[in-house]
Amino acid sequence: MKLKAIFAIILCKLLRLLSRLLHRGGTAMPGRIALKLCPELLSIVSAGVKTVAITGTNGKTTSARMVEQAFLEQGKSYFANRSGANLISGITTEFVMNSSLTGKCRKEYAVIECDEAAARRVFPQLKPQVVVVTNLFRDQLDRYGEVTHTLENIRVAMEGVPEARLCLNADCSLTASLAGDLPNEVVWFGIEQGAAPSRPKPEISDATHCIRCKAEYEYDYISYGHLGGFRCPRCGYRRHRADYAVTEILRQGADSSDLVMDIRGGKHMVTVNLPAMYNIYNAIGAVAAVTEMGLGADAAIAALADFRCGFGRMERFALGKGGARMMLVKNPAGCNQVIEFLENVKEKFLLVVCLNDRGADGTDISWIWDADFEGLGQLSGYLEQVIVSGDRAADMAVRLKYAGIDPAHIRIERSYEQLVQWIEGQEKPVFIMPTYTAMLELRQVVIAHCGGDDFWK
């Protein structure tokens, strides 16, 4: 153990203490400074810890929460990077805070969410036992570049950890292509044909042409976006049979879903304590992760029924008579899933959309035109009013107007304080769709009114 590392650990702990005393999160900054001092710090503090790492475009945080719930319920000694501190700086801070001054981690397990662009720096040091790739969609173009760049980032990241078991979404042709390029043992999860009615091919798909030979894919079924039973008619690249499979979706409710899962040949009834199709994917991926970490399928299934959704992801607040639900949106694929959820609400409701264009949101808001807000335009019987807010509220108002929502029902409210007071006065349920930085700010105001956790908790 080098002196340099010990000094970096002490500095990191002090900086964290200081930022908490100043009532800041201090999730990333201490680690960033400590890594400057000792670039291999993460490999030192993560040595000997059994780690599951979760990456991919959408569903990282929710999947990690599901996995974490299983560790919690099984009474395991673990920690997790809870607050979206998913770059190397934030992950290092978390490990240091769970380590002794000599860099020995006090926990047996770690549940780590990792940004897909950061994975190539994180994985080789972290040496996770199990890696989950949830999916790959086109995301903030100005930040991540084309989706194939993200895929390449994850491939390079995995080259540094050939011994890790890789859990891949079998239904995502982009994610699944990692299997052919890597020596890692691969475990597949997905939703089987017939579990849900197949969708029509979307107007905009993030993967129309074969990642290997560029011929156009054919599909046996589509579950959403480009996910489903893909196959290439030219080179034969196709969906792999899933080891962890959702075989039936029995019920999709406003708050939860009931499913049948086939877990390595065993049939299980499962309740997921969150609505919407994308959370069914998160659930089956989480089951794969928990089981492959050795906690057993029953532990994973129990966790899905119990866990509390986190941090702006379908998060509920006791605000107004009908309650409020906050649903983070970041890119077209995720946004479409939220819109589809709203189409199935089937009671009168109110909607808030907060659009920011800061670094963490993506500075380019063009993606709102790829999301199918037209679905909301057809809900005039249910959707009574839309309030738009955030730095780019005016652009959001234009998008909704062209989606077919009567401009008389669209109002711009710049102040979050005013906005939350308005929500408090409502009788009907309010659904809030914020982008990332808008979620952070608005959530603080919401919590001040009705309670909840600070963002680093």
Partner 1 sequence: MELKICHMYPDVLNLYGDRGNVMCMTRRLQWRGIEASVTRLPIGSSPSLAGFDLVFIGGGQDFEQQVLLADLHRGKDREIKAAIEDGVPFLTICGGYQMLGSYYETYDGQRCDFIGALDLYTVGAVQRMIGNYSFQCEASAGSSVVVGFENHSGKTWLGSGVEPLGKVLSGFGNNSQDGTEGAHYKNVFGTYSHGPLLPKNPAFCDHLLLTALERKYGKAELAPLDDSAELLAHDEMCRRLTKG
Instruction: Say whether residue 367 binds partner 1 (CB under 8 A).
Output: yes
CA atoms within 13 A on the CB side of 151: 23
Minimum distance, C-beta of residue 329 to partner 1, in the bound complex (Å): 14
- Rounded distance, CA 25 to CA 15, Å? 11
Nearer to partner 1, 204 or 345 (CB): 204
Min dist. Cβ of residue 216 to partner 1 (A): 7
Binding flag, residue 233, partner 1 (CB under 8 A): no
> Is residue 364 near partner 1 by the rule CB under 8 A?
yes
Among the listed residues 157, 164, 172, the one whose alpha carbon sits nearest the alpha carbon of residue 57: 172
Residue 38 interacting with partner 1 (CB under 8 A): no
Measured from the CB of residue 231, what is the shortest distance to partner 1 in angstroms? 18
| Count of residues in contact with partner 1, rule CB under 8 A | 32
Residue written as tokens 């994985």? 123
CA distance 239 to 323: 41
Which of 204, 360, 447, 450 lies at the binding interface for partner 1 (CB under 8 A)? 204
What's the closest the beta carbon of residue 151 comes to partner 1, in angstroms?
10
- Smallest distance from partner 1 to CB 293, Å: 34
Residue 432 CB-density burial (10 A; 0-12 exposed, 13-18 middle, 19+ buried): buried
Of these, 108, 142, 218, 220, which contacts partner 1 (CB under 8 A)? 142
Site string for partner 1, 120-139 (x = CB under 8 A): ------------------x-
Is residue 148 a contact point for partner 1 (CB under 8 A)?
yes
Span near partner 1 by CB under 8 A; candidates 22-30, 56-64, 310-318, 402-410: 402-410
128 or 334: CB nearest partner 1: 334
Per the DSSP assignment, residues forming a β-bridge with 387 are: 352, 411
Binding residue for partner 1, selected from 100, 344, 363, 444, defined by CB under 8 A:
363
Pairing of strands 244-252, 257-263: antiparallel
Q: Binding of partner 1 at residue 397 (CB under 8 A)?
A: yes
Positions in 207-226 near partner 1 (CB under 8 A): 208-209, 214, 216
When binding is defined by CB under 8 A, the residue of 7, 219, 369, 382 that contacts partner 1 is 369
Binding segment for partner 1 (CB under 8 A), chosen from 69-77, 302-310, 357-365, 437-445, is 357-365
Cβ–Cβ under 8 Å, residues 47 and 78? no
Which part of the chain contacts partner 1 (CB under 8 A), choosing from 178-186, 249-257, 260-268, 395-403? Answer: 395-403
Residue number with CB closer to partner 1 (14 or 412): 412
Q: How far apart are CA 99 and CA 314, in angstroms?
A: 32
Q: Using CA atoms, how far apart are residues 411 and 290, in angstroms rounded to an integer?
A: 45
**E-strand stretches of 225-375:** 227-231, 244-252, 257-263, 266-272, 313-317, 324-327, 349-354
- Mark 127-155 as b/e (b = at least 16 C-beta within 10 Å): bbbbbbbbbbbbbbeeebeebeebbebbe
Q: Which residue of 395, 437, 445, 449 would you call a contact of partner 1, by CB under 8 A?
A: 395
With respect to partner 1, which residue has the nearer C-beta, 148 or 256? 148
Nearer to partner 1, 141 or 156 (CB): 141
CB atoms within 10 A of CB 185: 13
Q: For residues 150 and 273, which CB has a smaller minimum distance to partner 1 in the complex?
A: 150
For the chain, state the CA radius of gyration.
22
User: 382 φ, ψ to 5°?
Assistant: -110, -40
> What DSSP string describes 202-268?
PSS-S--B-TTT-PBPEEEEEEETTEEEEE-TTT--BPPPPSEEEEEEEEE-SS-EEEEEEETTEEE
Q: Which of 48, 183, 407, 451 binds partner 1 (CB under 8 A)?
A: 407
Helix (H, G, I), strand (E, B) or coil at 399: helix
Nearer to partner 1, 299 or 354 (CB): 354
Subset of residues 248 to 267 that bind partner 1, contact rule: CB under 8 A: none
Contact flag: residue 401 with partner 1 (CB under 8 A): yes
- Quote the DSSP letter at residue 365: -
Q: Does 156 bind partner 1 (CB under 8 A)?
A: no
Residues of this chain that interact with partner 1 (CB under 8 A) are 138, 141-142, 146-148, 203-205, 208-209, 214, 216, 363-370, 392, 394-395, 397-399, 401-402, 407, 410, 412
